[in-house]
Structure 1
Amino acid sequence: MYELLQAIFNGDEKDALHQLIYALSASGKRYFLRNEILLFFADYCDQSQKPAYFYYSSSVGKLIHYTHEIILEEENTWLVVRPRIANQEVWKLTANFSRFEQMTPQALLDVRDRLVNRYQPHILEIDLQPFYEGSSRVDDARNIGQGLAFLNRYLCNQLLSDPQYWVEMLFQALRRLQYNDIRLLLNDRIPSGIQLAKQIKQALKLLSKRSPNEPYEKFRFDLQQLGFEPGWGNTTARISETLELLDRLIYSPEPAILETFVARVPAVFRVVLISIHGWVGQEDVLGRDETLGQVIYVLEQARSLENKLCEEIKLAGLDLLGIKPHVIILTRLIPNCEGTFCNLRLEKVQDTENAWILRVPFGEFNPEITNNWISKFEIWPYLEQFALDAEKELLAQFQGKPNLIIGNYSDGNLVAFLLSRWLKVTQCNIAHSLEKPKYLFSNLYWQDLEDQYHFSAQFTADLISMNAADFIITSSYQEIVGTPDTIGQYESYKWFTMPQLYHVVDGIDLFSPKFNLVPPGINENIFFPYSQKEKRDFNLRTQVHDLLFNREDPQIFGHLDHPNKRPIFAFAPITSVKNLTGLAECFGKSQALQERCNLILLSSKLHPDEATNLEEVEEIQKLHEIIDQYHLYGKIRWVGMRIPSSDLGEAYRVVADSQGIYVHFARFESFGRSILEAMISGLPSFATQFGGSLEIIENQENGFNLNPMDLEGTAKKILDFLDQCDTDAEYWHEVSEWMSQRIHHKYNWHLHSNQLLLLAKIFSFWNFVAPENNEARDRYMETLFHLIYKPRAEKILEKHMGG
């Protein structure tokens, strides 16, 4: 970047940059983000009659396309430049353009504070970088999120460089495995790693004389005599394969061998999935709008994990000992549960043998609040006591410690941090969506937003849990480090200011192997292709078709004058981020779309009096106003009711029966479950270009990625698709098929559970053989918890208590 700036300052383009900065300052604003900067630059190029290449290929053009922020001060211009993914730099240009210099993040945070008139000269600086110093790191930004592959290579290299030490550590790690005081894998007849290597040969010799399918119990005693306890396999062939993998790992370690061997090690039996603030239930509950996706996720994850653990236990031959997996979804008990089972302490997860929802109540404090559902923004004062109470309940329920604790969302991740710290258990974090990047400038103006959102507690909780976690799984690469044009959700925690509270000068190491890309699956019993006629229920199809196209109901708005037109379908909660209003306006502004299509919207609410917050009220009213403004009567159906998942699955298929399309028009989407649901149903799907949907659809021509800010461009993309469908009768079917197959093969719960359990085992082994200053790091996290988080949470509690 220095060379680029040097070229500008020493060349003919210096005046162009100066004029652009002058144009920015003339606007009266002082803070500009990337999209605004690009618009100003495009206007400048147009008004200055610059040649076409100048916008992209000139030195100034390159600089502007790398620039994500510009802050104007009286004496200086500050640029936050991102020359490549996961790498940001701060540059200061003097007002007279006489010189430029690279600055520290600390200097930039001071500037941001001055911008909002909340600068203080001495402020707490949070710097996590020392805890990652000397740690192994991914060296290429393209491999961020592939921590498992990195660790496998690293551990194999260590085995090669110092085989005697690492074989001993491998032996110690295997030797400590047990279940309820039952020794697994190894007994005291094998006292060392060297002896283990020798005994493997003896065991393989013994097994070679037996039939491959002979059950383990027939020769269990013989293996125990050699030092091998249960857990290696359920048949001669399986045990031989596992021991051969270990033998190869000792003598010629390779990443693929390590991964395959570790996948077979019986190290995980009890798993906790923490999802606290939603209505976590099964019958007519499935969360509220703000937690619906999360609740579905943890229920499906629990089922899948139990299935996978059952399979592993059986293949390891441990079912003969009566060992069963035990999965618990930990959530809060809500006494005033509005007719649901959310006041039930223990509820079995449907279609499982031993997976349960365990509900623990919040400490009462003020029962008028704690006995009811509490928004995710108000939950913070109750989490520490919840964790203390949950610890006792979990130990009693499991009759032992869990092997893995998985947090979901900011609140669940904080509780996961506390429980894993107390219980000394491997911690996994899943954010789903981080609020800080979702709410623009939420950290800079946190004081103005505190009464409504309490971001000071939440962002502190995020910092604590993401750094304390042993590993983090994300649904997409962009969730971590964004795209060349956008900053990732976790990347937004790299440095930021909470004016007059603290500065984060290094909040997370994006190159840490703790980051792992493990996308979720989809329930293929509910969401499956429309073409699978034999799986569809004719009566359900009739009912759902009637719901979407014909039925009159107080919760349905609109009658379709021409129901045979191709339907555009959208399913989303009523929020400004999900942007159903933007889709309706796009439809309203395009006569061509109205002539060829109907618009069908499915949300949980239709009338303003059903809203639970001001944002919902405004969005519902705005949607009605757009329908009226563009005279969309007869062209739109708006179904405002919560429907069961089975009906939703059929809704996608019914729209596909009519060769319709699905549109996900969110301003930002961290991932997008509904995109998976629509695509696997065989519904050609268009989705926002801002977020994880880029990776879900991943089409080369970008034809199905939409900019929700560009209504005209969106209409054109949809119309271009319809034109191709009209020209080529097979085109709709071809797109339908490749989208469905993509989800089936890449986004399934079997793959998810395999990868998740493998990560848990590898990171547990990693922490055992090569702990990297974790105790010092966790002490630092505890300090942030007690000195920053708790005082912020106590302020919320005072408000709840009426103080």
Structure 2
Amino acid sequence: MHELVQTILNSEEKTALRHLIKTLSALDQRYFLRNEILHVFAEYCQNSEKPGYFFHSSSVGKLIHYTHEMIVEGEITWFILRPRIGSQEVWRLGANMTSFEQMTPEALLDARDHLVNRSQSQILKIDFSPYYHGYPRINDPRNIGQGLGFLNRHLCGQVLTDPEYWLEVLFDVFHRHSYDGIPLLINGRIDSGKQLAKQLKQALNFLNERPQGEPYEKFRFDLQELGFEPGWGNTASRVRETLELLNRLIDTAEPAILETFVSRVPTVFRVVLVSIHGWVSQEGVLGRPETTGQVIYVLEQARHLENKLQEEIKLAGLDVLGIQPQVIILTRLIPNCEGTLCNLRLEKVEGTQNAWILRVPFAGSNPNVTQNWISRYEIWPYLERFALDAETELLAQFRGSPDLIIGNYSDGNLVAFLLARRLKVTQCNIAHSLEKPKHLFSNLYWHDLEDKYHFSAQYTADLIGMNGADFIITSTYQEIVGTPDTRGQYESYKCFTMPQLYHVVDGIDLFSPKFNMIPPGVNEHIFFPSNQKQDRDITVSRTVEDLLFTREDPQILGHLENQSKRPIFAVGAMTAIDNLAGLAECFGKSQELQQSCNLIIVADKLHPHQATNSKETEEIERLHNIINEYNLHGHIRWVGMQIPIAELGEAYRIIADFQGIFVHFARFEAFGRTILEAMSSGLPTFATQFGGSLEIIENGEDGFLLNPTDLEGTAKTILSFIDQCNAYLEHWYKISELVIQRVRNKYNWQSHTKQLLLLAKIYSFWKFVNQEVSEAKAGYVETLFYLLYKPRAEKILEQHMQR
């Protein structure tokens, strides 16, 4: 990078760099982001009539494209460069462009503090880098998020390096493995790794003489004489295959063999899914509008986890011991539950045998707050006590300790860490959508936002949750490290400042193998194609069609003059991020779209008085104003109510009956649950290019990506598809079938839960063999909890006590 800048400073391109800095300096700000920098540089190239290559390929052009942020501080200019995904460099250009030197992250954080006039000479520094030194590390950014495969290769390499040591480790793991005191896999007749290898060969010789389909019960006691307890399989062939895999693993360790073997070994029986603030219930409510996706996710995950665990237990032959899996969704009990079941301690998850919602109240002396629903911004003072109370409830409900604890969102991941730390079990972190990257500069100006959002507690909780976890699940690659042009959600925690509170010098190792991409699935019983006529309820279908097209209701705005037009369908919340008003504006500005289509929006609210905050009020009023400004009456329907999930599934199918399309016009989307629902229902889908939809949709192949800031370009993209459908009657059906197959092949819960359990087993083993390193990091994380998190939470509690 230094050579690149020296080339610029020693050439005529120095003029372009000087002009860029001068232009930025003249603006009424000192901190500039990538888009602003590129815009100013593009204007310079155009006004100076530079040749086409200059913008991208000149030395100064390359520097500008590497630059993601700039700080102009008097005669000093800071460049925050991102030369490759997951990496950052900080450079400072001196006065009169005479020096260019690389700076430390600490120097950048000091500069940011100075920028907002909150600098101080001494501040707490958080640096996790020493605690990742004992871990293997991914080198190629393209492999970030593929931790399981990397760790398997690493473990196999270790086995080949020192096979005798790893044989003893395997013996130790098997020897310790039990269920409620009942030994599994091996017994006391095997007392070392060497003896395990010896007895393994005898067991294989014995099994080779048994009929393949012979049930395990018939030769169970023969295997016990050889030292092998239940858990290897339910038939002679299954047990033989599993033991052969172990034998091959001992002789020649290969990643595929390790993965197959581990997937067969039953080590997970009891699972906790922590989802606290989401208003978790089933009858008549699926979370609040802001948490619907979270609740749907954990309920579906619980159902499919139980199914997968039952399958594994049966195949392992453990049903002879009467072992049954248990899955608990841990959430909070809400006394003032507004007519829902959220005040019940225990609720069975529909469609399961032994999966439950366990609700634990927020105990304490502040019932005016704790007996009601509490938003994710206010929940922090009650989580430590909740974790302690939940531990007691879980142990009683399970009659033992869980094997895996999975956190959801910032609050759930903090509680998952506290529980896993006390119970000494494996912890998984799932964030779905981290709050920090949604609020630009929120860490810099946290003082000003603290009373409303309490970001100091939340961002500290995020650091604790993600670093305390044994493994992290994301739905997409970009959640971790973004794209070449944008930072990832986890990447935003790598290096940042909370002025006058702390500096995060290194907040997370993005190249750690703890990151794994496992996208969720879709409920195929609710979201299925419209041509599956036998599965559709005609009564529900008529009700939903009436709701979308004709019903008059105080919560519905608009009528459609021509209902035969192709419908554009959108579902979302009334937030600026979901950008439903932006879609209406795009529709309003295009006469061609209005001539060809109707716009049907299903949102959670219709009237400003229903809003729960000022931002929501603004967005509702904005949509009303757009409808009036562009005179969309007769072309738009706005259904302002949260409809049951079964009816939502039918809504997608009815839009498909009319050969409509689904548009997700969000300014940013962490993943895109509604995108998957629409595609699974067979709707050609148009989605924002910002976020996880980049990885769901193959643009132009099985869907279309949109820039929500480009209204004219969006209209052209949609109209081009509609023109093709009008010209070729089969085109709509072709795209419909492609989106259905895309979801079925890649986004299904069976694959998700299979991978999740495999991760739990591998990372539990990895944690066992790296106890010293794991304990050191966990101790550091725990220190942050007591040193930083608790004081911030106590300040929030003081505010609550005054209510």
Query: Could you state the TM-score of these two structures normalised by the residue count of structure 2?
Result: 0.99
Distance 1:407 1:505 in 2: 25
Matched, 1:230 2:233: no
1:121-132 map, 5 Å: 121-132=121-132
1:29-68 map, 5 Å: 29-68=29-68
Tell me what 2:529 maps to.
529
Matched, 1:460 2:474: no
Tell me what 2:205 maps to.
205
**Is the Cα contact below 8 Å between 2:471 and 2:516 reproduced in 1?**
yes
Could you report, residue by residue, the CA deviation over 1:141-188 in whole angstroms, capped at 9, with x for unpaired residues? 100000000110011111101000001101111121110001000001
Q: 1:780 aligns to what SS in structure 2?
A: helix
**Is the Cα contact below 8 Å between 1:671 and 1:692 reproduced in 2?**
yes
Tell me which amino acid in the other structure corresponds to 1:627: I
After superposition, the Cα gap between the structure-2 partners of 1:220 and 1:703, relative to the gap in structure 1 and judged at 3 Å, is closer
Q: CA deviation at 1:664?
A: 0.7
Distance 2:698 2:502 in 1: 39
1:436-451 map, 5 Å: 436-451=436-451
Distance 1:453 1:164 in 2: 54
Tell me which amino acid in the other structure corresponds to 1:699: N
Tell me what 1:489 maps to.
489
Tell me what 1:277 maps to.
277
Could you report, residue by residue, the CA deviation over 1:242-284 in whole angstroms, capped at 9, with x for unpaired residues? 0000000000110000000000111000000000012100001
Runs of 4+ in 1 over 4 A off after TM superposition: 700-703
Q: 2:122 aligns to what SS in structure 1?
A: coil
1:168-247 map, 5 Å: 168-247=168-247
Tell me what 2:137 maps to.
137
After superposition, the Cα gap between the structure-2 partners of 1:703 and 1:425, relative to the gap in structure 1 and judged at 3 Å, is closer
**Is the Cα contact below 8 Å between 1:687 and 1:693 reproduced in 2?**
yes
Distance 1:722 1:745 in 2: 26
Q: 1:290 aligns to what SS in structure 2?
A: helix
Tell me what 1:388 maps to.
388
Tell me what 1:27 maps to.
27
**Is the Cα contact below 8 Å between 1:135 and 1:772 reproduced in 2?**
no
Tell me what 2:293 maps to.
293
Tell me which amino acid in the other structure corresponds to 1:789: Y
Q: 1:570 aligns to what SS in structure 2?
A: strand
Distance 2:278 2:144 in 1: 31
Distance 1:536 1:91 in 2: 61
Matched, 1:421 2:389: no
Q: CA deviation at 1:702?
A: 10
Q: CA deviation at 1:772?
A: 5.3
**Is the Cα contact below 8 Å between 2:13 and 2:60 reproduced in 1?**
yes
Tell me which amino acid in the other structure corresponds to 1:802: Q
Distance 2:260 2:702 in 1: 37
Distance 2:71 2:597 in 1: 45
Matched, 1:512 2:530: no
Distance 2:26 2:524 in 1: 56
Q: CA deviation at 1:703?
A: 6.9
Distance 1:592 1:11 in 2: 51
Distance 2:441 2:598 in 1: 37
**Is the Cα contact below 8 Å between 2:697 and 2:703 reproduced in 1?**
no
Distance 1:528 1:41 in 2: 48
Distance 1:741 1:771 in 2: 43
Q: CA deviation at 1:775?
A: 1.5
Which residues of structure 1 form unaligned runs of 5+?
Answer: none
Q: 1:145 aligns to what SS in structure 2?
A: coil
Q: 1:119 aligns to what SS in structure 2?
A: coil
Could you report, residue by residue, the CA deviation over 1:594-618 in whole angstroms, capped at 9, with x for unpaired residues? 1111110001111111112222111
Tell me which amino acid in the other structure corresponds to 1:416: A
Matched, 1:610 2:610: yes
Distance 1:302 1:146 in 2: 24
Tell me which amino acid in the other structure corresponds to 1:745: N
Tell me what 1:583 maps to.
583
Distance 2:631 2:121 in 1: 57
**Is the Cα contact below 8 Å between 1:112 and 1:497 reproduced in 2?**
yes
Distance 2:741 2:754 in 1: 20
Could you report, residue by residue, the CA deviation over 1:724-776 in whole angstroms, capped at 9, with x for unpaired residues? 22232222111111111001110000000000000000001111123351212
Q: 1:757 aligns to what SS in structure 2?
A: helix
Matched, 1:599 2:599: yes
Tell me whether 86-95 or 392-401 shows the greater mean CA deviation.
86-95
Distance 1:5 1:154 in 2: 39
Tell me what 2:95 maps to.
95
Distance 1:21 1:223 in 2: 77
Distance 1:701 1:4 in 2: 39
Q: 1:373 aligns to what SS in structure 2?
A: coil
1:318-357 map, 5 Å: 318-357=318-357
Tell me what 1:729 maps to.
729
1:359-374 map, 5 Å: 359-374=359-374
Could you report, residue by residue, the CA deviation over 1:433-477 in whole angstroms, capped at 9, with x for unpaired residues? 100001111101101111110000000000011001000000000
Q: 2:97 aligns to what SS in structure 1?
A: coil
1:713-752 map, 5 Å: 713-752=713-752
Tell me what 2:79 maps to.
79
Distance 2:702 2:441 in 1: 29
Tell me what 1:401 maps to.
401
Q: CA deviation at 1:566?
A: 0.8
**Is the Cα contact below 8 Å between 1:232 and 1:316 reproduced in 2?**
yes
Distance 1:3 1:174 in 2: 56
Distance 2:92 2:766 in 1: 42
Distance 1:330 1:381 in 2: 18
Distance 1:70 1:617 in 2: 34
Q: CA deviation at 1:653?
A: 0.8
Tell me which amino acid in the other structure corresponds to 2:277: H
Q: 2:289 aligns to what SS in structure 1?
A: coil
Tell me whether 607-616 or 475-484 shows the greater mean CA deviation.
607-616
Q: 1:87 aligns to what SS in structure 2?
A: coil
**Is the Cα contact below 8 Å between 1:442 and 1:449 reproduced in 2?**
yes
Could you report, residue by residue, the CA deviation over 1:485-520 in whole angstroms, capped at 9, with x for unpaired residues? 100000000000001101101000000010000110
Distance 2:701 2:447 in 1: 43
Tell me what 2:630 maps to.
630
Tell me what 1:5 maps to.
5
Tell me which amino acid in the other structure corresponds to 2:465: S
Q: 1:773 aligns to what SS in structure 2?
A: helix
Could you report, residue by residue, the CA deviation over 1:604-644 in whole angstroms, capped at 9, with x for unpaired residues? 11111111222211111111111111111001000011111
Tell me whether 135-144 or 6-15 shows the greater mean CA deviation.
6-15
Distance 1:624 1:716 in 2: 24
**Is the Cα contact below 8 Å between 1:557 and 1:637 reproduced in 2?**
yes
Distance 1:95 1:730 in 2: 64
Distance 1:62 1:590 in 2: 37
Tell me what 2:253 maps to.
253
Could you report, residue by residue, the CA deviation over 1:65-119 in whole angstroms, capped at 9, with x for unpaired residues? 1111011011211111111100111111123111211111111111111111111
Tell me what 1:559 maps to.
559
Tell me what 1:147 maps to.
147
Q: 1:96 aligns to what SS in structure 2?
A: helix
Tell me which amino acid in the other structure corresponds to 1:205: N
Distance 2:295 2:169 in 1: 39
Q: CA deviation at 1:717?
A: 1.3
Tell me which amino acid in the other structure corresponds to 1:108: L
Instruction: Please provide the CA RMSD for this pair.
Output: 1.1
Q: 2:36 aligns to what SS in structure 1?
A: helix
Tell me which amino acid in the other structure corresponds to 1:51: P
Tell me what 1:161 maps to.
161
Q: CA deviation at 1:3?
A: 2.6
Distance 1:525 1:218 in 2: 39
Tell me which amino acid in the other structure corresponds to 1:715: A
Could you report, residue by residue, the CA deviation over 1:281-315 in whole angstroms, capped at 9, with x for unpaired residues? 00011100111100000000000000000000000
**Is the Cα contact below 8 Å between 1:364 and 1:371 reproduced in 2?**
no
Distance 2:405 2:144 in 1: 23
Tell me which amino acid in the other structure corresponds to 1:160: L
Could you report, residue by residue, the CA deviation over 1:328-385 in whole angstroms, capped at 9, with x for unpaired residues? 0000000000111000000000000000000000013211110000000000000000
Q: 1:260 aligns to what SS in structure 2?
A: helix
After superposition, the Cα gap between the structure-2 partners of 1:716 and 1:702, relative to the gap in structure 1 and judged at 3 Å, is farther
Matched, 1:265 2:265: yes
